[in-house]
Amino acid sequence: MSHDVHVEARSEEEYKYNRRKASQAMRNQVTVFAIMIFLTFVAFATVQAGFSAFLVVPLILLFAGVQVALQLYYFMHLSEKGTGIMQFFMYSGMIVAFTMILAFVTIIWW
């Protein structure tokens, strides 16, 4: 039954290959982090610079979306195989979330 622990012994070659792959992936993570820091910096800077709200608001929302996508797909490993069901539930949650926020900013007024 699936409760048993399945561990395959890895050969020395395989182990070294995996280690290399993992450290490569870790370097990618640092790059992703740099992009996130950059986006954050630009977002704060555009707001401080005082550009028109019609430019700044869509821009920083876009940046937030990109950052969140990076977090989910790289830091939280959603880009790996076998995550379909998790993505399905995250996206469903986001659809509900979007609908709700849209409703609250459009049809609640005084």
Q: How far apart are CA 97 and CA 110, in angstroms?
A: 23
Which CB, 48 or 79, lies closer to another protein? 48
Q: Does position 13 bind another protein by CB under 8 A? A: no
Least Å distance between CB 13 and another protein?
Answer: 11
Residue type, 86: M
CB–CB of 70/35 below 8 Å? yes
* Of the residues 15, 20, 24, 42, which one makes contact with another protein according to CB under 8 A: 15
Region of 82 (left: φ > 0; alpha: ψ -120 to 50; beta: rest) is: left
Spell out the alpha helix ranges (H) of 3-106.
Answer: 12-49, 53-70, 84-106
**Distance between CA atoms of 31 and 39, rounded to whole angstroms?**
12
Q: Hey, which residues between 24 and 63 contact another protein (CB under 8 A)?
A: 25-26, 29-30, 33, 36-37, 40, 43-44, 47-48, 50, 53, 56-57, 60-61, 63
| Residues in touch with another protein (CB under 8 A) | 1-10, 12, 15, 18-19, 22, 25-26, 29-30, 33, 36-37, 40, 43-44, 47-48, 50, 53, 56-57, 60-61, 63-64, 67-68, 71-72, 75-76, 82-83, 85-86, 89-90, 92-101, 103-108, 110
